C-alpha cells in the first residue's frame, strides 16, 4: 500500500538525564536514533544535586561510539560530526527539572524526547508527577520511554539494533494511523527483515480496513482481538510475543496527564518489558 502519510520525522532529539546508571539504557537509544536519523541530540543534565565538575565528560559519547566501532579510541570532538550528528550538552538553569525542561522545549522544540523510566514508578525518580504533567500537557511531544530494567532494542555494547517484533494497540480514539506510520518509519530505519507488526484490539474495535498498513518484503501483519481490560491484553501480548517495542497513540495534550491518573498508556508503561513510543494525536 501507500507509504506512511505522516512519517516519523526526526531532526532534533532531546534527552533529559541525571547521568545515573538507570539512565544509560535510554541514553544509548537516544544516541543510536541520532545516528540513524542524522539528528541533533541535546542532552540536558537536570539533577541540581550533582556537581557540574566533569559535566562535559558525561554521558560518555565518544567512548560509546568507539566501543560501537564507529570512532577510533583517540577520537576528538570534531570526529563526532563526521558521523552526521551534532551533540549539544546543556545544564539545567532552573532549580527544578520541570522548569528546566519546559524552558528548553519552549525555546527549542524537539521532534522526539527520550526518557528513562523505572519499573512501578512510570518515570525516572527526578521526573516525578509534577514534572511529567505540565511537560506532557503543554509540550505535546512524541516520547520514547525506555525502562531502565530492560535491554531495549539498542545494544549498549555494540550499538546494534534488534527491532523485529512491534506491538501496536489500536483504537478509534485516538486515531491509530499516526502510530502505525511512526512504527513503519522506525522499523524501516532500524531493522532488517523479518518483521512482525501485531495490531491488538482491546475493547471497542477499530476500523482496520480504514488503516494504511504498508506491505513490504518479509513484513507480516497480525491481528489480535481481546475483551476486557485493554491493559491486560496489551501487556499479555507483549510478553507472549516478546515484542521489542510498543508503539501507541495518545490523546493529544491530555495524553501523558491522563497517564498520571491511571490511563491505559500509563498502566501499559508501568508494566511493559520493552520501550514504549507514545505518539500524540494531532491537535485539533
C-alpha distances in Å from residue 100, one per residue of 43, 45, 51, 95, 108: 12, 10, 17, 7, 12
Residues 256 and 199 in one domain: yes
Does 6 fall in a domain? no
Residues 234 and 265 in one domain: yes
Which pLDDT does position 275 carry in this prediction? 94
Percentage of the chain beyond pLDDT 90 is: 38
* Of residues 120 and 113, more confidently modeled: 113
Query: In this structure, what CATH number is given to the domain that contains residue 115?
Result: 3.40.50.620
Encode pLDDT of 67-100 as tens digits.
999 999 888 888 999 999 999 988 876 667 777 8
Which of the listed residues 147, 173, 189 is the one where a domain comes to its end?
Answer: 147
Residues 174 and 270 in one domain: yes
Residues 104 and 212 in one domain: no
How far apart CA 23 and CA 18 sit, in angstroms, is 7
Does 158 fall in a domain? no
Which of the listed residues 118, 147, 176 is the one where a domain comes to its end?
Answer: 147
Residues 40 and 98 in one domain: yes
Residues 29 and 112 in one domain: yes
Residues 133 and 29 in one domain: yes
In the chain, what are the helix, strand and coil shares in percent, each to the nearest 5? Answer: 35, 25, 45
C-alpha distances in Å from residue 160, one per residue of 62, 69, 174: 16, 11, 33
Does 154 fall in a domain? no
Which pLDDT does position 257 carry in this prediction? 39
* Of residues 157 and 99, more confidently modeled: 157
Residues 46 and 125 in one domain: yes
Q: What angle do CA 195, 201, 205 make, to 5 degrees?
A: 135
Does 160 fall in a domain? no
Evaluate if residue 29 carries a pLDDT over 90: yes
Q: Residue 173's pLDDT band (boundaries 50, 70, 90)?
A: confident
How many other C-beta atoms lie within 10 A of the C-beta of residue 227?
A: 9
Does 5 fall in a domain? no
Residues 172 and 268 in one domain: yes
Which pLDDT does position 4 carry in this prediction? 43
Encode pLDDT of 121-132 as tens digits.
545 554 544 454
* Of residues 31 and 217, more confidently modeled: 31
Flag the least confident range among 1-5, 22-26, 227-231, 236-240.
1-5
State the total domains in the chain.
Answer: 2
Evaluate if residue 37 carries a pLDDT over 50: yes
Residues 201 and 254 in one domain: yes
Residues 140 and 211 in one domain: no
Does 155 fall in a domain? no
Domain that holds residue 268: 165-280
Does 42 fall in a domain? yes
Evaluate if residue 15 carries a pLDDT over 70: yes
Q: Residue 225's pLDDT band (boundaries 50, 70, 90)?
A: confident
Does 153 fall in a domain? no
Amino acid at each position: 500500500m501507500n507509504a506512511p502519510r505522516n512519517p516519523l520525522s526526526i531532526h532534533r532529539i532531546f534527552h533529559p538525564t541525571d547521568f545515573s546508571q538507570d539512565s544509560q539504557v535510554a541514553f544509548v537509544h537516544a544516541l543510536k536514533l541520532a545516528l540513524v536519523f542524522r539528528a541533533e541530540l541535546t542532552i540536558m543534565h537536570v539533577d541540581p544535586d550533582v556537581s557540574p565538575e566533569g559535566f562535559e565528560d558525561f554521558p560518555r559519547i565518544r567512548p560509546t561510539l568507539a566501543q560501537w566501532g564507529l570512532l577510533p579510541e583517540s577520537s576528538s570532538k570534531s570526529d563526532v560530526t563526521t558521523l552526521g550528528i551534532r551533540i549539544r550538552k546543556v545544564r539545567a538553569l532552573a532549580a527544578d527539572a520541570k522548569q528546566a525542561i519546559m524552558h528548553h522545549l519552549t525555546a527549542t522544540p524537539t521532534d522526539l524526547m527520550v526518557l528513562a523510566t523505572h519499573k512501578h514508578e512510570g518515570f525516572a525518580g527526578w521526573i516525578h508527577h509534577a514534572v511529567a504533567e505540565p511537560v506532557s500537557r503543554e509540550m505535546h511531544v512524541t516520547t520514547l520511554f525506555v525502562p531502565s530494567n530492560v535491554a531495549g532494542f539498542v545494544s549498549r555494547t555494540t550499538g546494534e539494533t534488534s527491532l523485529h517484533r512491534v506491538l501496536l494497540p489500536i483504537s478509534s480514539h485516538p486515531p491509530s494511523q499516526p502510530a502505525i506510520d511512526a512504527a513503519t518509519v522506525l522499523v524501516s530505519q532500524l531493522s532488517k527483515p523479518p518483521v512482525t507488526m501485531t495490531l491488538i484490539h482491546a475493547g471497542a474495535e477499530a476500523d482496520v480496513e480504514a488503516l494504511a498498513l504498508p506491505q513490504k518484503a518479509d513484513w507480516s501483519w497480525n491481528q489480535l482481538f481481546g475483551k476486557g481490560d485493554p491493559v491486560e491484553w496489551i501487556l499479555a501480548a507483549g510478553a507472549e510475543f516478546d515484542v521489542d517495542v510498543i508503539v501507541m497513540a495518545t490523546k493529544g495534550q491530555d495524553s501523558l496527564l491522563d497517564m498520571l491518573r491511571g490511563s491505559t498508556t500509563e498502566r501499559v508503561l508501568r508494566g511493559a518489558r520493552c520501550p514504549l513510543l507514545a505518539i500524540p494525536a494531532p491537535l485539533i
